[in-house]
Amino acid sequence: LDDEHPDVPETAVIGIPHEIKGEVPFAFVVLKESATENQRAVVEEMRHLVATKIAKYAVPDHFLVVKRLPKTRSGKIMRRILRKVAMQDTSNLGDISTLDDPSVVSEIIEAHKRYRSHAAKK
């Protein structure tokens, strides 16, 4: 996805449990600084991109915009952490000693809390 949209340098998509569908995609999206004001529009464009380039069923149910993704020192995205955040299971994140910058985890948790509270108001 990130190579398809000019305002999205990075994405990570994980699966989370869903009562009816079994599992649904949950996308963590990093936006370029210039696109943060148009966040809603970029997410809608991403939804359209996934629906047309992949399939409608592949469109993530959730898009969480974050400043950065949790990566190891070698640059691998730690999807395990993203899955725990998406499932609201952050009490035990496991070994995070290989993270390049552990502060990214609290940033993502806070972004997820804001996302959840905003979604609950709808």
Position 92 scores a pLDDT of 87
Q: Tell the burial category of 22 from Cβ atoms under 10 Å away from its Cβ (0-12, 13-18, 19+).
A: exposed
pTM: 0.91
- Parallel, antiparallel, or unpaired: how do β-strands 62-66 and 22-30 relate? parallel
Position 122 scores a pLDDT of 61
Domains along the sequence of the chain with CATH: 10-121 (3.30.300.30)
Distance CA 63, CA 16 (A): 13
Average pLDDT, the chain: 91
Place of tokens 């999206």: 29
Position 23 scores a pLDDT of 93
- Residue 49 pLDDT exceeds 80: yes
Enumerate helices (H) and strands (E) in the chain, giving the number of each.
Answer: 3, 3
Position 2 scores a pLDDT of 58
- Residue 84 pLDDT exceeds 90: yes
Distance CA 59, CA 65 (A): 15
